[in-house]
Chains A and B, each alone.
Chain A
Amino acid sequence: MTGTARDGSGTPAAPATAAKSASKSAAASASEAASAAAAIELRAATKRFRTPSGGVYTALRDLDLTVAPGEFCAVVGPTGCGKSTTLSLISGLERASAGRALVHGEPVTGIDPRVGFMFQTDAVFPWKSVLDNVAAGPQFRGAAKKEALSRARDWLRRVGLSGFEDRLPHQLSGGMRKRVALAQTLINEPEILLMDEPFSALDVQTRQIVQDELLALWELTRPAVVFVTHDLEEAIALADKVVVLTVGPGTVKDTFRVDLPRPRKVQEIRFQPRFVELYEQIWSSLRDEVRLAYARTAGDAPAPESAPVPAPATASGTPSPSTSASSSRNSSPTTADRAE
């Protein structure tokens, strides 16, 4: 299995190009400093699943992850590498088969009230009105109906959905539904916010708007965030730290600190030279994993060494948005189109 061979590169100190090491050592020292009061910690977390045929499939192996309070951490990796599984371990929806999952230093034993989770697919309740959907959290937690509703109205205003209280989810656009889900999650004021490719179903323009809204809302309460995405551009634009996972069984390959200033505007930050630089660094780490994952699904056909990234990989590891010549590595025609 290819995954076994890659085990060595899972350690954070894995040597790479000189350009990379600067940002990497910064990330390493930051995570060490934070570990005393980490909001989220996975220690050598391993997750195995029973397969229908009776075998065992290891989705995660010895995964270490630390997120400080108020830190925005993005997790990228090829499809099926265990990103969603990582979140389910932190949320308490699943238990680690080995290793530990800690939230604020305490082992996760079930669903923690301090955790909020935004799912990849729509998880708003289709039979509840927008208002009732947002009020669900406080109501489930025992708040009086009237108070829950007034707080929900407040949050709807914050996500720009005042006037849509009585609509049903299916009467909203995709972007509006995402904002309902965001309000529904944030109304509980989680200290830990887990997001599983929350915006992957949105078109590019809507996605950028919602990303900006997310950043603005995040600034309000500053929860620790683990944001799973397969879109590297999104990861860099939003996060303080980008974690690259290996192909399954997933483990941490590299960690990159994103030292772009805040507050950020998602649409504009992509054109900063530092963004492009980071993109190239992280992509060169992610690219191999994406290729390996693709090779597996394509029946182990080896990808040509220096050719442009194969099509499915391009889709999952969004091409560099930069117009500068330095990104000539990803010089597929779509790159040029997307930059406009």
Chain B
Amino acid sequence: MTDTHTGTASVPGAAPPSSGALAGTAEEAALIRGARARARRRRLLILLTQVALVAAVLGGWQLGASSGALDTFTYGSPDGVVKQLRTWFADGTSLGSIWHNIAVTMQETVLGFLIGTVSGVVLGIALGRIRALADVMAPFIKAANSIPRIVLGSMFIIWFGLGPSGKVALAVVLVFFSVFFNAFQGTREVDRNLIANARILGASEWRVTSHVVLPSAMTWIVASLHAAFGFALIGAIVGEMLGAQAGLGQLIAQAQGNFNADGVYAGTLLIAVLALIAEFVVTRFEKRVLRWRPAQSAGDGTGL
């Protein structure tokens, strides 16, 4: 019986059975080495192609701009964007230091993301668990969800003024709905056997929620977080564009007002960098909370 506790028992917490690379005869080792080399070569090739693509686009843009084929007033130019960024970071912007503007936008985004996520998860699980509550709330949630968010931006400026709270509110609304629906669905999909098991083992309703429903629905919730952070950023930026004292959105809006194409591109670039960093953080978080799931089938693409 491979199944009975003999040899392996002496290696507590051993890594999950690996792909059998250890078993190797010389022939297998050669095969693995060959496959690795092929994979490495392929990755390198892809990277080179990507760099070439970027170089071609930026080079073409730059060439067009400096030769006069592209109107720099309308389309800007790569060196104009670089110059704009250098000015912002060295001398600051019309709205104060660039770091201050980045900080303001990030603060609004992160705050909106956190509040929206927490309230979306809490309400999603509550409505998913309590049937009557879901039935009562359904029409209101559908109605609220059907309002175009940009309208809310104007509403929030009237309510909260030009400060950051209006932007946070807009981000919260955007994040809330994307997280809420996933948390709700995730709660509905929890394996009934697991809930029954927890109840028989002695779990209170609260413990069932925290020990079974939340971890189980986490797969759904985390899937929504990637989009949710993007929504939070959109909420903050759009809010700032509609009216603010500082922030990247307002910076872009002003550049647009001054017909400064390079400024618009530079602001966009900064936002893209922020979004990529956030995506990285969310992915790390996802890997952490979903560690318990079996590895996705051959996701690493080294295809032996």
Q: Which residues of A contact B (CB under 8 A)?
A: 91, 93, 111, 113, 115-117, 119, 121-128, 136-137, 140-141, 160-168, 170-171, 173, 175-176, 184-185, 188, 205-206, 209
Contact = CB atoms under 8 A, between A and B. Distances in A.
A296 B194 CA distance: 32
B202 interface: yes
16 contacts: A91-B200, A116-B200, A119-B193, A123-B196, A126-B293, A127-B218, A136-B198, A136-B201, A140-B204, A160-B5, A162-B9, A163-B11, A168-B292, A173-B2, A175-B1, A188-B202
Interface residues on B, range: 35 or more
A209 B4 CA distance: 9
Contacts of A126: 292-293
B9 A140 contact: no
Interface string B137-175: 000000000000000000000000000000000000000
B16 A205 contact: no
B293 A137 contact: no
B202 A140 contact: yes
Contacts of A206: 1, 3
Most buried by A among B3, B4, B216, B292: B3
Interface in B187-223: 191, 193-194, 196-204, 207, 211-212, 215-216, 218
Interface of B: 1-5, 8-13, 16-17, 191, 193-194, 196-204, 207, 211-212, 215-216, 218, 291-294
B8 A119 contact: no
B197 A119 contact: yes
B12 A164 contact: yes
Given A170-B294, A188-B201, A119 B196 contact: yes
Contacts, number: 94
Contacts of A184: 201
Contacts of A116: 200
Given A140-B204, A163-B10, A167-B13, A209 B197 contact: no
A205 B4 CA distance: 11
A337 to B, nearest CB: 20
Most buried by A among B10, B200, B203, B291: B200
A331 B12 CA distance: 48
Given A117-B200, A125-B215, A188-B201, A176 B3 contact: yes
Nearest to B200: A117
A29 to B, nearest CB: 33
A168 B15 CA distance: 11
A171 B16 contact: yes
Given A91-B200, A125-B198, A140-B203, 9 more contacts: A111-B199, A115-B200, A119-B193, A140-B202, A163-B8, A163-B11, A185-B201, A209-B1, A209-B3
Contacts of A136: 198, 201, 203, 211
A127 B190 CA distance: 13
Contacts of B9: 162-164
B142 to A, nearest CB: 25
A23 B200 CA distance: 35
A175 B207 CA distance: 28
